[in-house]
Amino acid sequence: MVKGLDEMMRVQVESLRLRSYRQEILAANLANADTPDFKAVDFDFGAALREATAARRGAGPTPDAGAGQAPGPQLLFRNPSQVALDGNSVEADAERAQMADNAVRYEAALRVLTGQIKTMLSAIQG
């Protein structure tokens, strides 16, 4: 049972780490909306989460993302509906929508993790 709880928490922590990283990527895209020839990037969140949790399964506590290892997922160029005349592929409205969606999902994952921690504390304290 403890192993199952640990695995659930590990997935949530990894989800938060990837969501945070994705928010940075989306913010960088938006910040470069006026940069000529800038190509917007993103990554497949589901695939990155599956890969990260499979790699960490049974590896002990999840290491801190800032502890010297690469952030993880492979960045892919976005396919915009229309590229600007200057070669920039950032679609500001789409980036803002993706950022809002990602933020909501981050908050949801954080609430789930908080609930798991509260449940564990309640069980420990009796």
Q: How far apart are CA 48 and CA 62, in angstroms?
A: 15
How many domains are contained in the chain? 1
Closest CA to 90 of 16, 44, 7, 31: 31
For 126, how many CA atoms within 13 A lie in the half-sphere containing its CB? Answer: 0
Q: What is the mean pLDDT of each run of 10 residues along the chain (126 residues)?
A: 74 95 98 97 96 74 50 87 92 97 97 91 88
For 53, how many CA atoms within 13 A lie in the half-sphere containing its CB? Answer: 18
Q: Which pairing describes strands 41-42 and 76-77: parallel, antiparallel, or unpaired?
A: antiparallel
3-state secondary structure of 105: helix
Read off the pTM: 0.82
- Give the domain extent around 6: 2-125
